[in-house]
Amino acid sequence: MLTPLIIGNWKMNNGIREAADLVIKLRELLKGVDSVDVVIAPPFTAIYHLSHLTADSPMQLCGQDIFWEKSGAYTGEVSAEMLADAGCRYVILGHSERRQRFGESDATVNKKLLAALRASLKPIVCVGETLEEREAGAAISRVTAQVRASLAGLSGSLVKDVSIAYEPIWAIGTGRTASPQDAEEVHNAIRELIYEMFGTHSARGVRVIYGGSVNAGNIDSLMSQPNVDGALVGGASLKAEEFARIVRFKHAAR
């Protein structure tokens, strides 16, 4: 079994003071957690400060995006190397909010993926279908096409550090979650594709996590699916007790 990966995606929330308060609460609530990789993705401005507060805790830091160049005349951008320098170990790439609002495409996600690995950041590549695509029966073909294009040109020796987050767009921030069975079906298809692309030996460490209205009430049934290796949590990750309960999901049904 892969080590579960639970990520809190704070999006554009929390200044430095609020971020520190939340992390201090989480440090208490997560004491003793050692069988789950717990990752938080604060806004860029809070990362360096939090790198000190998370040092002796189960939490690792994650960026919400990067640009693919190392440095240069790219006003407003932050590189993978800069995030690693500030204390990040992971980075979220191709979140649907970036795809929908900021012109992110599979091609840009692919460049960012290679840049993240160059800086030893572990990429979390987000994919997901729209409601129209799901209703047209095209969820799996859409998602597998995104995975294929986002991971193009990646060498098999690096794929183990990549995670895929399946986030159906209609489930993000809406309170509507994919049923555990629907999530499992897509996760299984993603895993099969990764095995086909990279071989089971290289790709067996790749984690496929679910995102979209994950909360303390639905995490146990999602994690009970054999191909759900973790969760990407938005809104519920801003509340310390709820996020801690998600991290402490019940393994029993697995």
Question: Would you please indicate which residues are annotated as catalytic (active-site) residues?
Answer: 95, 167
Please, which residue, 98 or 191, has the CB nearer to ligand PGA?
98
- Per the CB < 8 A criterion, the answer to whether 180 and 217 are in contact is no
Q: Closest distance between ligand PGA and the C-beta of residue 12, in Å?
A: 12
Q: Closest distance between ligand PGA and the C-beta of residue 176, in Å?
A: 9
Please, which residue, 81 or 129, has the CB nearer to ligand PGA?
129
Provide the binding-site residues for ligand PGA, judged by CB under 6 A: 9, 167, 172-173, 211-214, 232-236
Please, which residue, 22 or 236, has the CB nearer to ligand PGA?
236
Q: Closest distance between ligand PGA and the C-beta of residue 22, in Å?
A: 15
C-alpha triplet 54, 60, 66: angle, nearest 5°: 120
The sign of the dihedral angle between the CA atoms of 250, 237, 160, 58 is negative
| Residue nearest ligand PGA, Cβ-based | 234
Please, which residue, 213 or 227, has the CB nearer to ligand PGA?
213
Strand-pairing partners, residue 92, are 124
Q: Closest distance between ligand PGA and the C-beta of residue 233, in Å?
A: 5
Closest CA to 182 of 146, 147, 213, 161: 213
Q: Tokens 């003793």 label which residue?
A: 32
- Per the CB < 8 A criterion, the answer to whether 150 and 109 are in contact is yes
